[in-house]
Amino acid sequence: MSGITLAIDGLEDVVARIVDERLAAQSPDPWLTTPEAAQYLGIALATVYDLVNDGKLPRHGVKHTRLRFRRSDLDAYAEARR
């Protein structure tokens, strides 16, 4: 990797952290990461990705590794499964 690529990757992490912090601060409906969403729903991480790919679980984010989920969306999905 070139130094430019490493700098851009590092910048992505910084921007993602800032966005996460701002979203958390302004939203009464918390945002969860993919691992947090899996834990919250009591399902495997791979299942979360499958649900996203199948369009069954709404997500927000730019990259597959930077997905965020609103807790209210997870609650609605869990309720629909019952």
CA 58-59-65 angle, 5° bins: 145
Cα(35)–Cα(70) distance, integer angstroms: 13
Domain ranges for the chain, please list them.
Answer: 3-81
Q: What is the pLDDT along the chain (82 residues), one digit of tens a residue?
A: 566 665 666 777 777 777 767 766 666 788 899 999 999 999 999 999 999 999 999 888 766 567 899 999 999 999 998 8
Question: Which pLDDT belongs to residue 66?
Answer: 79
Cα(65)–Cα(45) distance, integer angstroms: 12
DSSP secondary structure code for residue 66 in this structure: G
Cα(19)–Cα(24) distance, integer angstroms: 8
Instruction: Please state which of the four CATH numbers 1.10.8, 1.10.10, 1.10.3470, 1.10.1660 is assigned to the domain occupying 3-81.
Output: 1.10.1660
